[in-house]
């Protein structure tokens, strides 16, 4: 079975190519996940490091979907929504309990940023069991070595290949998907793991990015930053406005740990940092301001609400290098339908 056929058989309500919305921690909640899945994509809930929110979000998606026209072709006992965990900080036992207790099992479970490979093996086995095999396992990786190790140890249903352009957390040292994805595809095939579908992530903002990812060997794409510019993303308007305003992401964003330090979201394994839009916090850090003073100013900016974001603001605006391609706020469903419509028209002229 080719990869697209395999994905279609696992998520039969989705269109080809598969468009997923990233499980952005506490940003991708019911509204975003549901609208993406209702529009022919696969929406993920961003559970992040707090497994205790899973049960509530699963039941809120179930209830939201039950009040809308049914999504066609959803397999029996499956919720057409994925859930994403940041493995180093989340509780596996709480996740298992919530999945077991949920009458509908999430269609996919996305794992990211484990401290060790053995954690991913443990999570994969336990969650496959808890969902009685109904939830497919997606694992996000950022290097060729990680892709082959994870393929061998966990036999995931999908590998998400995350390039360095990605917004939010990722490996401090990685390449963009333009070289990472084909090298992963080649190496996985060479080692006998060529049957695992690859989904590209990092810098993909529209149908052109999706088409490019397909040419590189992916069977679909995950977008995070693009969905920040949707009303369904659970962020403050100041954050959304800063995303719309930023352009030329190679210079207006950077990978850094500064925002984690200021927000107090520490604990990430050492090889991870996060890409965000540059602002006064970053520049002050670069100019040598000490962390205590910078944090004090950050906390003051929090009290300013929407005014705390923007170039002259101080609050974390995690977003990828593609940020300049998000020019307007658009409903998440329209984003998915637009990409699916446009990607079919793209022809590569040689
Ligand atoms: C604001 C934001 C929050 C994110 N949070 C998570 C997360 O909680 N878990 C995760 O696996 N990935 C997270 N990511 C990374 C995405 O999974 C994905 O790799 C990334 O969004 C793809 O790149 P793009 O933002 O350029 O589309 C986040 C990304 C963004 C922009």
Alpha-carbon span 156 to 257, nearest angstrom: 29
CB 89 within 8 A of CB 45: no
Residue nearest to atom 31 of ligand 1 (CA): 167
Alpha-carbon span 86 to 119, nearest angstrom: 11
Instruction: State which ligand 1 atom lies nearest to the alpha carbon of 227.
Output: 27
CB 323 within 8 A of CB 252: yes
Alpha-carbon span 205 to 175, nearest angstrom: 18
pLDDT in tens, 195-231: 999 999 999 999 999 999 999 999 999 999 999 999 9
Q: What are the residues whose beta carbons fall under 8 Å from the beta carbon of 43, sequence distance 6 or more?
A: 20, 21, 28, 32, 33, 34, 35, 36, 37, 81, 82, 332
* Pocket lining: 229 vs ligand 1, CB cutoff 6 Å: no
* Pocket lining: 308 vs ligand 1, CB cutoff 6 Å: no
Instruction: State which ligand 1 atom lies nearest to the alpha carbon of 226.
Output: 27
Q: How far is CA 78 from CA 23, 37, 322, in A?
A: 18, 13, 33
Alpha-carbon span 277 to 311, nearest angstrom: 8
Alpha-carbon span 172 to 184, nearest angstrom: 18
Q: What is the Å distance from ligand 1's center to 225 Cα?
A: 7
CA 113 to chain centre: 12
Q: What is the Å distance from ligand 1's center to 243 Cα?
A: 14
- Output the pLDDT for position 247: 97
Helix (H/G/I), strand (E/B), else coil: 220: strand
User: 157-186 burial string, b = 16+ CB within 10 Å, else e?
Assistant: bbbbbbbbbbbbbbbbebbebbebbbbbbe
Q: What is the Å distance from ligand 1's center to 13 Cα?
A: 23
Instruction: State which ligand 1 atom lies nearest to the alpha carbon of 48.
Output: 8
- Output the pLDDT for position 350: 80
- Output the pLDDT for position 55: 98
* Pocket lining: 322 vs ligand 1, CB cutoff 6 Å: yes
- Output the pLDDT for position 249: 98
- Output the pLDDT for position 349: 78
* Pocket lining: 249 vs ligand 1, CB cutoff 6 Å: no
* Pocket lining: 324 vs ligand 1, CB cutoff 6 Å: no
The H or E element spanning position 125 is: helix 117-130
Q: How far is CA 127 from CA 85, 170, 325, in A?
A: 12, 23, 36
Give the fold, CATH level 3, of 3-234+329-343. TIM Barrel (3.20.20)
Alpha-carbon span 206 to 101, nearest angstrom: 37
* Pocket lining: 313 vs ligand 1, CB cutoff 6 Å: no
* Pocket lining: 276 vs ligand 1, CB cutoff 6 Å: no
Mean pLDDT by 10 residues, the chain (350 residues): 95 98 97 98 98 98 97 97 98 98 98 98 98 98 98 98 98 98 98 98 98 97 98 98 97 97 95 97 97 96 94 94 98 98 90
The H or E element spanning position 33 is: helix 30-38
Q: What are the residues whose beta carbons fall under 8 Å from the beta carbon of 309, sequence distance 6 or more?
A: 236, 238, 239, 241, 242, 279, 315, 317
The closest alpha carbon to 172, from 251, 272, 278, belongs to 272
Residue nearest to atom 21 of ligand 1 (CA): 224
Q: Would you kindly state where each structural domain of the chain is located, as residue ranges?
A: 3-234+329-343, 237-323
Q: What is the Å distance from ligand 1's center to 72 Cα?
A: 28
């Amino acid at each position: 079975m080719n990869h697209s056929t395999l994905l279609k058989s696992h998520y039969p309500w989705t269109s080809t190519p598969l468009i997923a919305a990233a499980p952005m921690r506490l940003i991708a909640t019911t509204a975003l996940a549901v609208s993406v899945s209702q529009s022919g994509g696969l929406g993920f809930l961003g559970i992040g490091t707090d497994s205790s929110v899973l049960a509530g979000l699963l039941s809120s998606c179930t209830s939201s979907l039950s009040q809308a026209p049914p999504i066609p072709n959803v397999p029996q006992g499956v919720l057409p929504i994925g859930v994403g965990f940041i493995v180093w900080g989340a509780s596996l036992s709480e996740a298992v309990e919530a999945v077991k207790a949920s009458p509908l099992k999430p269609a996919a479970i996305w794992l990211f940023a484990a401290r060790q490979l053995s954690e991913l093996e443990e999570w994969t086995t336990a969650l496959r069991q808890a969902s009685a095999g109904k939830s497919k396992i997606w694992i996000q990786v950022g290097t060729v070595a990680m892709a082959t190790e994870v393929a061998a140890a966990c036999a995931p249903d999908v590998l998400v290949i995350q390039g360095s352009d990605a917004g939010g957390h990722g490996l401090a040292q990685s390449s963009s998907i333009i070289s990472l994805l084909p090298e992963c595809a080649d190496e996985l095939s060479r080692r006998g793991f060529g049957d695992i579908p690859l989904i590209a992530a990092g810098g993909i903002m529209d149908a052109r990015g999706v088409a490019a990812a397909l040419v590189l060997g992916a069977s679909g794409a995950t977008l995070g930053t693009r969905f920040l510019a949707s009303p369904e993303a659970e962020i403050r308007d100041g954050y959304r406005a800063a995303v719309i305003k930023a352009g030329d992401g190679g210079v207006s964003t950077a990978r850094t740990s500064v925002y984690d330090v200021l927000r107090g979201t520490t604990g990430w394994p050492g090889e991870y940092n996060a890409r965000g839009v540059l602002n006064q916090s970053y520049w002050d850090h670069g100019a040598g301001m000490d962390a205590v003073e910078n944090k004090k100013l950050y906390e003051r900016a929090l009290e300013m609400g929407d005014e705390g974001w923007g170039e002259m603001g101080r609050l974390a605006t995690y977003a990828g290098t593609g940020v300049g391609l998000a020019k307007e706020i658009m409903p998440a469903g329209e984003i998915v339908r637009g990409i699916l419509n446009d990607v079919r028209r793209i022809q590569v002229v040689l």
